């Protein structure tokens, strides 16, 4: 156990944990989109979990920092908020927020972050990113909505963890990057019938299990 000070409050954390996880477990919310507990090498790709740590000059991503005895951390400085708001606006420029059609009811991480950062759910003053991708893509067991996807990569990671040979992957590059589904052989032997972890972990409702698959497996997303 180590002690650290977050926003003037002393908290205890297990050694080896990241600053982000320790804060969340102590009830202190830090915005995050791509973080998964127990992940060996966090990608730190969402750029939302910035904090300021005494001794480091610029803000750092809290998911990649391990806790150490006596760390003094601040989660709400002007520099941190500025980075977080910009990162959030950039995410929202790719995520078309449509509350009426959104399958994520009530527990939306993006809404929570928007409230926390005190910003709206639009990318303003940035523009909405116009991507040359399809509205809906059929993934055999799932439906993928590229305009909701913020490419956090959780689904690709969890698929690889659970199934070894991942069926989900990133495809293309840059603005064209999408999640793609590739299985080889007989679809009846895909693990997706019973797994569905990707749809459960998706924070933006971009991967949705098809209703007929839900019934067959009994797993609720």
Q: Which two tokens stand for residue 214?
A: 């839900």
Helices 109-117 and 78-94: crossing angle in degrees, nearest 10, is 140
# of chain residues touching other proteins (CB under 8 A)? 23
Gyration radius of the chain's alpha carbons: 19
Q: By CB under 8 A, what part of segment 173-202 binds other proteins?
A: 173, 176, 178, 180-184, 187
DSSP character at residue 192: G
**Residue 183 and residue 190 in contact, taking contact as beta carbons nearer than 8 Å:** yes
Q: Which is nearer to other proteins, 109 or 166 (CB)?
A: 166
Per-residue contact string for residues 26-65; x = within reach of other proteins by CB under 8 A? ----------------------------------------
Q: Is 139 in the site for other proteins (CB under 8 A)?
A: yes
**Closest approach of other proteins to the CB of residue 40, in Å:** 17
Closer Cβ to other proteins, 10 or 132, answer by number: 132
Residue 18's DSSP bridge partners are 66
Binder of other proteins out of 72, 126, 162, 171 (CB under 8 A):
171
The interface region with other proteins, picked from 31-39, 84-92, 95-103, 170-178 by CB under 8 A, is 170-178
Beta bridge partner(s), residue 3:
12
Structure tokens at 111: 């809404």
Q: Is 51 helix (H, G, I), strand (E, B) or coil?
A: strand
**Among residues 45, 77, 143, 166, which is the contact residue for other proteins, using CB under 8 A?**
166
């Amino acid at each position: 156990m180590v002690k650290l000070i977050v926003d003037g409050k002393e908290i205890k954390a297990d050694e080896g944990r990241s600053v982000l996880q320790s804060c969340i477990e102590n009830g202190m919310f830090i915005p995050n989109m791509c973080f998964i507990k127990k992940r060996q090498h966090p990608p730190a790709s969402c750029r939302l979990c910035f904090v300021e740590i005494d001794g480091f000059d610029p803000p750092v991503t809290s998911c990649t920092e391990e806790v150490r005895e006596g760390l003094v951390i601040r989660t709400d400085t002007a520099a941190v908020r500025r980075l977080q708001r910009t990162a959030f606006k950039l995410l929202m420029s790719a995520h078309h927020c449509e509350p009426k059609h959104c399958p994520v009811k009530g527990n939306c991480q993006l809404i929570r972050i928007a409230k926390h950062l005190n910003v709206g759910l639009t990318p303003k003053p940035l523009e909405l990113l116009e991507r040359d991708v399809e509205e809906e893509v059929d993934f055999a067991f799932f439906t993928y909505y590229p305009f909701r996807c913020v490419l956090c990569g959780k689904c690709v990671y969890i698929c690889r963890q659970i199934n070894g040979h991942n069926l989900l992957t990133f495809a293309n590059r840059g603005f064209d990057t999408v999640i793609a589904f590739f299985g080889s052989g007989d679809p009846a032997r895909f693990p997706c019938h019973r797994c569905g972890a990707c749809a459960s972990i998706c924070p933006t409702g971009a991967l949705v299990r098809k209703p007929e698959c839900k019934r067959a497996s009994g797993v609720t997303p």
